[in-house]
């Protein structure tokens, strides 16, 4: 029987314990499992290779993304590294230029030493990608919305071009979660998440995941998962699976709050620009409405003045916490140029518009009136 997103988020892969009847699967901390004969086991032999809690989470997130296979990793960065390691030496990657700073750092500082070359391309217009394909281009790497300037990339258009050149499309769906966006249904081959963010949702797990229906790449990635060993703990998987249960209602509240905050910021005399896909002023607003079912909880905005004004704003906030990361129930604020995107060169930050006065806010699920009041008083005190 088909079921809605919220129902599947709660019940997918949740099987009552056959011994106790517990409705929540037990936390399995064992590192190894009894075999009835040499090489004969129940599906588990060693926890790096497989763990009941990890399997439970992987099955559930694959269901929510509309994929066949889920593979969990120790972090979002470990997910990226494992995917790239599944490529042959000498492979070429095309990445959207406005990409998470940690991904940029991995491509430019680590993957390059393994013989993997990456070209960063402005993909606001999907046609821009055509001239960058090479015979050895194996992956196209997208974030949409991008981090931190919240550009929206046309997934279907990029997927069509990637496949025409024999490349796979990877989409980082961290900002939207499977509740608001399903890249596999738009032609993507692999979807990844920093589970640390919205999937877990409570700022107490560091974890990543990849979802795919591509059997060949799944086998390669499963081999990397086991061989590299960058796997999450059973407890982290237990917490992340618990987080999935409230994903629908959390994402609804994140988006409702973000829309209200973005509309307020557009009225502030201290703000030069508000970047939120839910605003009609966003250049990709219509595209966002077509490929997403909501606009998410992330806002970036550019304030008047200098970094000194930014620091005054941040120091006066009471309910919104200055910290990296995003997607938790609490609201967080950061300055990408100095914090999450410090690894990006000043020249590239200038091209992308990641200036010292660009502020990124992860809107939490607090009362929206309190968040607006907090921003209002902090902005007024900074000028």
DSSP-assigned letter for residue 297: S
Number of H helices, E strands in the chain: 13, 12
Averaged pLDDT, 223-241: 96
User: What's the pLDDT at 1?
Assistant: 52
Q: Are 310 and 333 in contact (CB under 8 A)?
A: no
Considering the domain architecture, whether residues 224 and 261 belong to the same structural domain is answered as no
* Complete edge-to-edge strand list for the sheet that includes strand 358-362: 271-275, 298-303, 358-362, 332-334, 321-322
Domain-terminating residue out of 213, 229, 245: 245
Convert the pLDDT of each residue in 256-265 to its tens digit.
999 999 999 9
Total structural domains within the chain? 2
Share of the chain above pLDDT 90, in %: 91
Residue 225: both structure tokens together: 């998962």
Which domain range does residue 70 map to? 5-245
User: What's the pLDDT at 280?
Assistant: 98
What is the spatial distance between Cα 107 and Cα 3, in angstroms, rounded to a whole number? 39
User: What's the pLDDT at 238?
Assistant: 97
Say if residue 247's pLDDT is above 60.
yes
Rg (CA), the chain: 21
Considering the domain architecture, whether residues 49 and 125 belong to the same structural domain is answered as yes
Q: Which residue has the higher pLDDT, 15 or 258?
A: 258
Q: What angle do CA 211, 213, 219 make, to 5 degrees?
A: 85
Give the position of tokens 């605003």: 279
* Mean pLDDT of the chain, nearest integer: 96
Residues tagged active-site = 48, 100, 172, 197
For the entire predicted model, the pTM comes to 0.95
What is the spatial distance between Cα 24 and Cα 237, in angstroms, rounded to a whole number? 13
Averaged pLDDT, 128-155: 97
Q: Give the pLDDT band (50/70/90) at residue 209.
A: very high
Considering the domain architecture, whether residues 27 and 131 belong to the same structural domain is answered as yes
119: domain CATH number is 3.40.640.10
Considering the domain architecture, whether residues 290 and 360 belong to the same structural domain is answered as yes
Residue 202: both structure tokens together: 């409570």
DSSP symbols for 181-223: --GGGGT-SEEEEETTTTTT-SS----EEEEE--HHHHHHHHH
Convert the pLDDT of each residue in 78-110 to its tens digit.
999 999 999 999 999 999 999 998 999 999 999
């Amino acid at each position: 029987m088909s079921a809605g997103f919220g129902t599947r988020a709660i019940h997918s892969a949740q099987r009552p314990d056959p011994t106790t009847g517990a409705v929540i699967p037990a936390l399995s901390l064992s590192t190894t499992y009894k075999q009835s004969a040499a090489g004969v086991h129940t599906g588990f032999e060693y926890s790096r290779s497989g763990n009941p809690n990890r399997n439970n989470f992987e099955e559930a997130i694959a269901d929510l993304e509309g994929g066949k296979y889920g593979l969990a990793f120790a972090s979002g960065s470990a997910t990226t590294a494992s995917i790239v390691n599944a490529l042959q030496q000498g492979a070429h990657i095309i990445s959207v230029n406005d990409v998470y700073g940690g991904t940029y750092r991995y491509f430019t500082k680590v993957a390059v030493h393994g013989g993997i070359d990456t070209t960063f391309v402005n993909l606001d217009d999907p046609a821009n990608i055509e001239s960058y394909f090479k015979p050895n281009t194996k992956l196209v790497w997208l974030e949409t919305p991008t981090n931190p300037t919240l550009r929206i990339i046309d997934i279907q258009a990029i997927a069509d071009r990637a496949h025409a050149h024999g490349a796979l499309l990877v989409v980082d769906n961290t900002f939207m979660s499977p509740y608001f966006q399903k890249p596999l249904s738009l032609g993507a081959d692999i979807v990844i998440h920093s589970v640390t963010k919205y999937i877990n949702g409570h700022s107490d797990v560091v974890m990543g995941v990849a979802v795919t229906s591509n059997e060949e790449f799944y086998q390669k990635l499963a081999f990397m998962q086991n061989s590299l060993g960058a796997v999450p703990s059973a407890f982290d998987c237990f917490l992340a699976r618990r987080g999935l249960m409230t994903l629908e209602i959390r994402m609804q509240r994140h988006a409702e709050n973000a829309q209200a905050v973005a509309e307020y910021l557009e009225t502030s005399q201290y703000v030069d620009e508000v970047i939120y896909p839910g605003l009609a002023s966003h250049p990709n607003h219509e595209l966002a409405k077509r490929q997403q079912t909501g606009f998410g909880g992330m806002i970036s905005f550019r304030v008047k003045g200098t970094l000194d004004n930014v620091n005054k704003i941040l120091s006066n906030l009471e309910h919104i916490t200055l910290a990296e990361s995003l997607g938790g129930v609490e609201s967080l604020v950061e300055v990408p140029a100095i914090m999450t995107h410090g690894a990006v060169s000043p020249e590239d930050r200038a091209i992308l518009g990641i200036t010292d006065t660009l502020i990124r806010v992860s809107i939490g699920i607090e009362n929206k009136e309190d968040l607006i009041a907090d921003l209002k008083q902090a902005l007024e005190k900074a000028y």
